[in-house]
A and B are shown apart, each in its own frame.
Chain A
Amino acid sequence: MIKLEQVNKSYRKDSVEVRALHDVSLKIDAGEFVAVIGPSGSGKSTLMNVIGLLDRPDSGSYHLDDGEVASFTSDELAQIRNEKIGFVFQTFHLLPKTTALENVELPLIYSSRGDISGLGAQALERVGLKDRAQHLPSELSGGQQQRVAIARALVNDPEMILADEPTGNLDTRSGLEILAIFQELNRAGKIVVLVTHDAAVAEMAHRIVEIVDGRIVRDKPVEESKDAREVIANWAGSGDISKEVAP
């Protein structure tokens, strides 16, 4: 469970004070699939960094499960990120020259778990890349690289997946497959928070939070969220996807 109350965050950019989050209050319950949308520079990435414990709020409170984030040391935050949060980035951020399996296992290296054997392979299997375990990122397509990154986010069995423009660098078809994986993970009980500027992508979520100039301007459930698998199937039938998912 994520609960932000009156969170403010500002940073300096070229000696100009930018207020990235302005009195943001937001509650996300277990099992939700939330899309955060907004134009670039609106503060949605800052919001995700705060939720993901990569950045601390300047003021306001953030409760993750029952802990107040402000009271944790940075080592404790690192451990929480390791155990409870999986990140997926627009540019994948895989280690070069390192096999898919070893990339997936990276969070396990920093984990306090004892036995980690087999977890990496399981995670790869969940994203359908079991047979590519020994491939290097340079030998994989963009969609496959992003699936490796999702497996990495999953490997420690976190409570939530935070994805920042995960489909931004992918073609429509690969993007839909990634979204389908997110929907499956959400059905399996994980919180998914998806940051995007793409309204069609946001339609895949159950709830859309719109943020403009650091303020939440809209927060409403999606009437009838689309199923990515269905979109892929329809597309295969009609051969035209532009009506379904506008770029």
Chain B
Amino acid sequence: MRTRRLVGHGLRGMGRHRLRTFFMMLGTFMGVFALTLVVAIGQGTRDSVLGNIERMFAGSSIFLSAGGGGMMGGPREGGPTTTLVMEDLEEIQATVPGIRVYDPMIMAGSREVVYQGKSSSVRVLGHSERHEEVWDRGVSRGAFIGESEVRSSARVALVGETLVRELFQGADPIGLQLRIGTVPCDVIGVLDSMGIDPHGWDRDNEVLIPVTTMMRRVMNVDYVQSVKFLVESGTDLDGVVLAIEGLLRERHALAEGVPNDFSMITPVQVQEMVGSMNRIFTLFLPLLAGVSLLIGGIVVANLMLMGVNERRSEIGLRKAVGARGRDIWVQFLLESSLVTVVGGLLALVVAAITLGVIGRFMEIPSIMPWEAAFLGLGAAVAVGLLAGVAPARRASALDPVATLRE
């Protein structure tokens, strides 16, 4: 009976001091909100980055790119490396045991692609007919490029969904003709949709043509930029890497001491990369989250302490009319914990809505991390209680005589 009266009275008091209650709530709200968003976007990004990397290097594969040193995608000196040619690849396939299949690649980051006077800047990729098997990406409609089309440098193209939507304005592009620079190509298929990759490329804003067409007709070069080998399972990958290295050094006539003019990435290296990224995410995210929660807690504690100072005479009066120290204590803890719980719950709701909006309008992976969110809420409540303890103790220890005299 008495407790119920105390709680009801406390709640009405908070309702009367809406501004104070609001600012206290804001502290936890921002903490939990920031925590949830940071974890959601961090987790989503990690999952998609790792997913992409793992899909790229799934199974036993070796990625070989022209140009020495540096990491994948890093800057290279002195323009493109022109030494990796199709004959190198054919010989590797013929002489190194364990190579199952390979797919060469040459790419132009941005080319003018025109359809009926409408043009668009698009990434153009040259691949072989084995791309479907090696990269696990085929067509959703129409047909993939075939061996004869690669052999004959046929003027055919596969287009991504973004192009279908924007350049062809939603029409079925199969059988239509587009122009890549000056080269006209017949569209024979639509590529499987892949969305945005970790580097921010729209993988659906691409045209894929036979690697030979790309070399001879579009770029007029006789080299390729990279190749991905699939290796028979059970093969010693290090052995294959060494064999390829030896063969290429010999074919490229590299003298002793001259660095490789190519580089290779194997699943082992990728796993190391993924592992270190994972460590960054698992260390960094909780740290960020903890900091935001801590700030929320400090805000609540400070506002509570300010509240105690402002309400000295109120506390003195309550004691004079019969409040025990414990009653004052309970009132203040009730306020701080209620404010943090409500603020935290509101933050969860707003965060879920925000993530929904982000997911709809922006290409950022954003799944509501419910586990982390509720963990954060629990932590916020704990912080709120802890933040309330010191002010509540100070309030309950106030001397009514002194405060009533003020």
Contact = CB atoms under 8 A, between A and B. Distances in A.
A97 B323 CA distance: 20
Contacts, number: 67
Interface in A91-127: 93, 95, 97-98, 102, 106-112, 114, 116
Given A93-B313, A98-B16, A108-B5, A82 B322 contact: yes
A62 interface: no
Interface string B314-327: 10111111111111
B326 A75 contact: yes
Contacts of A83: 322
A79 interface: yes
Given A74-B325, A114-B1, A106 B318 contact: yes
B320 A81 contact: yes
A54 B400 contact: yes
B318 to A, nearest CB: 7
Given A93-B316, A111-B322, 9 more contacts: A54-B404, A89-B404, A97-B17, A102-B12, A106-B318, A109-B2, A110-B322, A111-B2, A112-B2
Nearest to B403: A93
A87 interface: yes
Given A95-B314, A108-B5, A109-B6, A78 B17 contact: no
Contacts of A89: 404
A95 B323 CA distance: 15
Interface of B: 1-2, 5-6, 9, 12-13, 16-17, 313-314, 316-327, 400-401, 404-405
Given A95-B314, A97-B16, A52 B320 contact: yes
A110 B324 contact: yes
A109 B401 contact: no
A74 B400 contact: no
Nearest to A87: B320
Contacts of B323: 78, 110
The 6 closest A-B pairs by CB, nearest first: A82-B322, A107-B321, A110-B322, A97-B16, A78-B324, A93-B317
Contact of B321 (A45, A75, A82, A102): A82
Greatest chain A CB density within 10 A among B5, B316, B317 is at: B317
A79 B327 CA distance: 12
Interface of A: 45, 49, 52, 54-55, 74-75, 78-79, 81-83, 87, 89, 93, 95, 97-98, 102, 106-112, 114, 116, 152, 156
A98 B322 CA distance: 19
Nearest to A55: B401
20 contacts: A55-B401, A75-B325, A78-B322, A78-B323, A82-B321, A82-B322, A87-B320, A93-B313, A93-B317, A97-B17, A98-B13, A106-B317, A106-B318, A110-B322, A110-B323, A110-B324, A110-B327, A111-B2, A114-B1, A152-B321
A222 B313 CA distance: 35
A81 B322 contact: yes
B401 A93 contact: no
Nearest to B314: A95
B322 A49 contact: no
Q: Which of A45, A55, A89 has the largest count of B CB atoms less than 10 A from its CB?
A: A89
Contacts of B405: 45
Contact of A78 (B1, B13, B319, B401): B319
A171 B124 CA distance: 92
Given A54-B401, A89-B404, A93-B404, A106 B321 contact: yes
B400 A109 contact: no
